[in-house]
Structure 1
Amino acid sequence: MNGKPEKSDRDWIDPDDGVELTEEQLDRAEYAVGDRIVRPARGTLTRDYAAAGAREEISLNVDQDLAEALRATGPDWQSEAAGALREWLNRRGS
């Protein structure tokens, strides 16, 4: 017999009814086609990296003990190292 069940599932949520992103969030989003990143993210949904100051990834060869000591300072070690380099440059008058 084909009839509507007495109690239908009301917990179902249509995936098309998701949260809409703002234009600002879309501007910061990563765009990818499959596993290939077409444009990397420029921030997160709540933070714009460009507004905080542009950052650039560089490679810097240092002694292994120095690298280990930097990493041991905690999860924000790269920002701390950048701050130390900035202070060093300021002292040099550059």
Structure 2
Amino acid sequence: MSANKHSTPIDWVDPDDAPELTEAFFEAADEFKGPLLIKRGRPKADKVLTRITIRLAPEVVEQFKASGPGWQTRMNAALADWLKSHSPGEIP
């Protein structure tokens, strides 16, 4: 029969051994205004995009990727522009 094991003791940590709090620590720390937590990082988008999986010709993707960062946004804009004068069921 197996006996209950006692929890492993935690070694004493001297509070004087704690790392020094630097400016970098405080810049990355959570900020509260009263009870409200001010979140850091990228703000939430006003218009949330839909994530999908799509198959495109490699040369089309390569051209958009070659245009640099933001290529997916430009691809979305190109499709939106095409839809202004075409219907989705239309094949050129």
TM-score (norm 2): 0.52
- Larger-Rg structure: 2
Cα deviations across residues 20-60 of structure 1 (Å, max 9, x unaligned)? 265463xxxxxxxxxxxxxxxxxx724212x1x11011122
Letter in 2 for 1:20: E
SS at 1:92 equivalent: coil
| Aligned partner of 1:57 among 51, 56, 61 | 51
Tell whether the 8 Å contact from 2:64 to 2:75 is kept in structure 1 after alignment: yes
Tell me how far apart the structure 1 counterparts of residues 68 and 31 of structure 2 sit (CA, whole Å): 35
* Residue of structure 2 in register with 1:76 after alignment: 70
Tell me how far apart the structure 2 counterparts of residues 24 and 85 of structure 1 sit (CA, whole Å): 36
Tell whether the 8 Å contact from 2:65 to 2:71 is kept in structure 1 after alignment: yes
Q: CA deviation at 1:78?
A: 0.1
Instruction: Establish whether residue 92 from structure 1 lines up as the match of residue 86 from structure 2.
Output: yes
Q: 1:59 to 1:46 in 2, by over 3 A?
A: closer
| Aligned partner of 1:13 among 21, 28, 31 | 21
Q: Structure 1: which 4+ aligned runs deviate by more than 6 Å?
A: none
* Residue of structure 2 in register with 1:47 after alignment: 43
Equivalent runs, 1:26-41 vs 2, <5 Å: none
Unaligned stretches of 5+ in structure 2?
1-15
SS at 1:91 equivalent: coil
TM-score (norm 1): 0.51
Tell me how far apart the structure 2 counterparts of residues 89 and 65 of structure 1 sit (CA, whole Å): 21
| Higher-RCO chain (CA-CA 8 Å, sequence separation at least 6) | 1
* Residue of structure 2 in register with 1:67 after alignment: 61
CA RMSD of aligned residues (A): 3.3
Identity of aligned residues (%): 19
